[in-house]
Every structure is written in structure tokens, then in C-alpha cells.
Structure 1
Amino acid sequence: MRVKRQKKSRKSLSFFKACFGFREPFKILCDGTFLHLLHAHGLGDPSVALSNLLGTRTIPSVTRCILGELKRLGNDYSDSLQSARNLPVTRCNHELMQSARNCIEAIIGSNNLDHFFVATQDPYIRKKFQQIPGAPVIFGLRNTLFLDPPSAYQRQFVKSSEDERSHMNEWEQKIVGNSKKQDVEKGVAVSNDAGKEVLVATKSKNNRKGMLDVKDKVRFKRKKAKGPNPLSCKKKKNPEGPSVSQTFVHKFDETSERSRKKRKRKRPNKEKLENPAN
């Protein structure tokens, strides 16, 4: 049950944030009936109880008129008066003391420009603020606090305002219509000028050809000679010749053969050696 209640409160809070621009920390205007409920059921400090309900930091406040009404109610509301004095005071600009109901209605007005939440137990205020767009109401039931869901009037107001923003009004339609007419007139003028220039150019060209009795000949493009496809051609082969290594080996063989040849010495004949006298 508690989880469902929290989901409903978060859903209602997101509606007012998205559609009416409520931002954290939320300002909450508390009257004497709400403060008396908190004290009677032991719900504690107003800022803590309201922060637990909305899930974020809150700034509860009262007015001079609300404080004056609690004073007039007597000793039964003395504890509620003491807790109200601990809260910040919102300026209401009333020279004469008003009832809490009239004071709250004057601050909220017809559209709640200051984005106040109203915490009250007054059924009249709850019912009336359902007909005011952007006026969320917090109330208590026994020892539990609730955020009133958006009324049918508030939802319809949001829907109609969105429809108005999506459509153009009469003044915007006139501006768009005039701009379109100007664009069309400029386009027609430019096209007419371009058409006239083309006609004049073609007429002058035809007149020249007529005077010279020259007829246009059909020109054919000659195909230029193109080279062979380099990918389909074979690569050129280098002429075969002796390599450097082969020539070096050949020279080495020649030198070795030369070195191997022996020198022949001339020896004297044996006869001369035997007969030296002769």
C-alpha cells in the first residue's frame, strides 16, 4: 500500500514539474489546519514530513495572516503556533489581517506564478485549487500525507495549451503567408528574366547563321589511338650475357693454368761435356 502511494505521489509530482515548471527545492505554503494535523498525529517537523512525501528538499513557510489566525484560535493551537513561528514567513502585502483562506488565495492567484505547493486541511481550498492550473495541494489523512493528483481541469488545460503552441495563430499565419508571397514573386521575376535572356541569345545566334547560310553539321568525336594495356603485355627480357661471377671464375682459371706451366731450361749436349778438348 505504501509503495502504491509513493508511486502515485511521484507521478503527480512529475506532472507538475514537466507541465508547470516546478523546480527543487519546492516551496510549500502551510496553513494552521495542516500544522495542527502534524502536531496532533506526531508527524514531527513540517520540513522533514514534507521532504519524506516529495522525496527531496522542501521549504515550508507561512504568512503573517496565518500566524495571526493561529493566535486568535487560543491555547488549543499554541503548539501549532510555536511550530509555525519556526518557519520562514512569506510576504503577503496585506495591511489588515486576513483569514488564512483569503491570504492563500491572494498569493496563489489565478496561475500560481511563484510555484507554491499548498498544504492544507481546508476542503474549500482543496476544491477551489483543483480549478486553478498549476496549484498542487498537499493534505493529511490520519498519520499519512498525500499529494492531490492533477484534476481533470488541470489536465485539460495542459492539453489545450500544448495544442495552441503546436498551431500558428492568425498573426503568425499572416507573416508566413506574406513571406511566401514575396518568395514566389521573386522566383517568378528571376525566372522571367532568365527566360528572356535565353530567348534573346538563341535569336541572335539563329540570325547570324541565317545571314551566312551556314547549317550546323553533326560532329562526331574521333577515337584517339590508345596504347596497349600494360597489364596484358609481357615484360621485356634482358639479353643473356655472362654474369659477374662467371667472368670472375674464368679469369681465376686462366691465372692458375699459367702458374702451373714450368719453365724449360736449356741444358748443354752430353757430347760437349764428354769431350771438352775437341
Structure 2
Amino acid sequence: MKYKKQKSTRRNINFFRVQCGFREPFRVIIDGNFLHALLEAKLGGPREILPKFLGATTVKPYVTRCVLAELRSLGEDFTGTALAARRIETMRCNHLKPVSPSECLCSLVGENNGDCFFIATQQQELREKLLKVPNVPILFACRTSLNLEPPSEVQKRLCTEREVQQKTVPQHELKAAPLRTLLESAETNSRKRKKVKGVNPLACKKKKADSEPMEVKVQAAEGKQKRKRQRGKHKESGLNADLAAAVEAKPL
């Protein structure tokens, strides 16, 4: 059962990563009820439990000034929760006077949660309201662990509609398409065409007539031929003559 829950949680987180563009570090806005539930169940602080649950290396929890004001007004039962909230980084909201945490969180989320906030709350009414807003992942605490609300049908439908809009061509671009083609054709026609080059005039020149007759050229070529070297013939003839003279001079 625990493995199925982890698998569904990873699938829901991947949905918000891929479809809604959530990137690390994740930013989680916490209200007082969620923080009080963590302390009552002894699950640990937000900085320790949120990275493990979301499978992220860095998670930044935040509280607002309106949440701190509500915790201070709740009395002694929430004194420990108020002290734990002061240790968390405070995010500025645009309320000069403190309002209810649900109203404060809805104003931070806006119409489409452009800043990619995770909302951690125990209020059922606020969770149902935020499920109608696209791109809003909602966390809540149980007795033993955290839970992530699966994407609602409204959020899935809005994501599919956004994908279709991204794939389709807008109407103003379709109207401008014929004009664009005309401009492109005009640009191509206005470009200078390369001129066809003629024959090289130097290649068309006539050859010069030979002024010397053929016989003179043949004689000049024969005169340039190298003479063949006769190797060792004069030496052999000289040796034979010396041997003959020595034989004749030898007395019998």
C-alpha cells in the first residue's frame, strides 16, 4: 500500500513538472493549520519532511505575515506553532492589514499560479477552491505522513487546452501568411541573377604560324641528341697492344 501511494505521488509531481513547468527549488507556502498538524503528529519540521516527500534536493517553505498574525491571535494552544513559524522564511504579501490566511494564499496564487507555488493547508474549503485553479499542487498532512492532492479534472482539461493552443497556429498568423508568401516571392525575384558567362577569349585565339620549315627543325633536333658513351673500349684496346709487345720482346 505504501509503494502504491509513493508511486501515485511521484506521478502527480511529474504532472506538475511537465505540464505546469514546476522546477527546483520548490516553493511551498504553509498556513498555520498545516504547521500545527505537523507538530501534533510529530512528523518533523517542514525543512526536513518536504524534500523527502516531494523527492527534491531543495525545497523552500514560506509563511506570510497574515499567517503569523493569525497564529499570534489563537492563544496559548498555538504558541509552539507560532514559534516554529517564526523560524520559517516570511514571504511578503500585499496586505497592509492582516487578512485571513485563505484569502492571503488565494491572492498569492492568482488566476493561474504563475509563480509556481505549492500550497500546504488543512482547510477543506480552501483546498476545494484551489483545485479549480490551474497549476496549483496542494499538500495536506495526515496522522502518519503527507499527502498530495491529485490534479483535478479542471486542471487536466485546462492543461490539454493549453497544449492544443500551443500546437495550433493563431488566426492573425494565418491571415498574414499570404502576405508573407508574396513578400518572400518578391524578395527572391528582386535578387540579382547570375549572368551566363561567355567563352574565354584567350581560348579562341588562333595559333601562330610556324616561320621555320620542317627540315630545319628536324636537323636541330638531331643535333641536340646526346652522344653515346663508350665505356672501357679504349682501355681494353690499350691493354691488348701492351700484351702483344711483351710477347714479341720475350726471347724463346
CA distance in 2 between partners of 1:151 and 1:256 (Å):
128
Matching residue of 2:134: 133
**Structure 1 pair 249–42 and aligned structure 2 pair: CA distance change class (3 A):** farther
Residue 150 of structure 1 and its aligned partner are, at CA, apart by 1.9
**Structure 1 pair 14–254 and aligned structure 2 pair: CA distance change class (3 A):** farther
Gaps of at least 5 residues in structure 1 are: 191-240, 267-278
Matched letter for residue 106 of structure 1? S
CA distance in 2 between partners of 1:6 and 1:261 (Å):
126
The correspondence of residues 137-152 of structure 1 with structure 2, limited to 5 A, is 137-152=138-153
Matching residue of 2:168: 167
SS in 1 for 2:99: coil
Indicate the larger mover: 60-69 or 5-14.
5-14
Matching residue of 2:24: 24
The correspondence of residues 1-278 of structure 1 with structure 2, limited to 5 A, is 1-56=1-56, 57-181=58-182, 254=240, 257-258=243-244, 261-264=247-250
CA distance in 2 between partners of 1:265 and 1:253 (Å):
21
CA distance in 1 between partners of 2:235 and 2:11 (Å):
101
Residue 242 of structure 1 and its aligned partner are, at CA, apart by 11
- 1:157-198: CA deviations, max 9, x gaps? 1111111121122211111122235556889x99xxxxxxxx
CA distance in 2 between partners of 1:68 and 1:150 (Å):
31
- 1:36-57: CA deviations, max 9, x gaps? 1110111111111101111221
Gaps of at least 5 residues in structure 2 are: 191-227
Residue 144 of structure 1 and its aligned partner are, at CA, apart by 0.8
SS in 2 for 1:59: strand
CA distance in 1 between partners of 2:237 and 2:81 (Å):
127
Residue 85 of structure 1 and its aligned partner are, at CA, apart by 1.0
Matched letter for residue 68 of structure 1? A
Matched letter for residue 117 of structure 2? F
CA distance in 2 between partners of 1:76 and 1:8 (Å):
35
Q: What is the TM-score of this pair, normalised by structure 1? A: 0.67
Larger radius of gyration: 1
Matching residue of 2:221: none
**Structure 1 pair 254–12 and aligned structure 2 pair: CA distance change class (3 A):** farther
Q: What is the TM-score of this pair, normalised by structure 2? A: 0.73
SS in 2 for 1:261: helix
CA distance in 2 between partners of 1:84 and 1:22 (Å):
25
CA distance in 2 between partners of 1:144 and 1:251 (Å):
123
Residue 244 of structure 1 and its aligned partner are, at CA, apart by 5.1
Matched letter for residue 47 of structure 2? S
- 1:126-163: CA deviations, max 9, x gaps? 22211111111111221211222222221221111111
SS in 2 for 1:60: strand
Matched letter for residue 247 of structure 2? K
CA distance in 2 between partners of 1:83 and 1:34 (Å):
12
CA distance in 2 between partners of 1:145 and 1:252 (Å):
123
SS in 1 for 2:89: coil
Residue 262 of structure 1 and its aligned partner are, at CA, apart by 4.4
